[in-house]
Amino acid sequence: MSLAAAVLAGGRSSRMGTTKALVEIDGCAMADRVLDAARAIGADPVVIVGGDPEELASLSAPVVADQHPGEGPVGGVLAALRHFVDAGGGAERVDRVLVLPCDLAHVDADTLFPLVEAEAGDGFSQVWVAATDRLEPMCAIWSVDALDRIQERFDAGERALHAVIGELPHAAVTVDPDGLVNINTPDDLPE
């Protein structure tokens, strides 16, 4: 099984006042911190989905167009899965895609590794979603086999990621909540 990763960076960042993917924490852009965590668990290749390719050119992964801009994270998940399915003619087919938001300042391999472990031992689920005291739908590994069902739900108007996950065979995987803290405003930035 081959695991790829996609970091979603297509949001407006209106509460942050600047492009969140590029906000630096300890000298590293937030999106690069997330990409590094994905690489640390063996995800390859990694891409950024959404955002302005010119503005995001300094980041450490290629930018893939969001085929559904303004349609929320379900559109971002679709764009990520579609990208890897369409690029599947290469030497190694991608079977699973870790999808994460660009604004996780503290995510690391220890946060993500339980998802990889759960996925490796599960031949039934199509989504392995992080769980703290609740599901964290923006941090999940998606099987590319779920693409058609996600597209159906999207075409039917579903935009809530948790609702899409609820309609697929899925596993909730407990992870460290400290690694999934979103940085949405300047006040959320670590001091």
Check pLDDT > 80 for residue 181. yes
Which pLDDT belongs to residue 63? 94
Calculate mean pLDDT across residues 113-126: 93
Q: Which residues contact 44 (CB under 8 A, 6 or more apart)?
A: 2, 3, 4
Residue 9, token pair as written in the block = 């960076």
Higher-confidence position of 4 and 92 = 4
**Contact yes or no for 106/179 (Cβ under 8 A):** yes
Calculate mean pLDDT across residues 69-73: 87
Average pLDDT, the chain: 89
Residue 124, token pair as written in the block = 């039934």
Residues above pLDDT 70, as percent of the chain: 88
For residue 19, name the pLDDT band (cuts at 50, 70, 90).
Answer: confident
Check pLDDT > 50 for residue 89. no
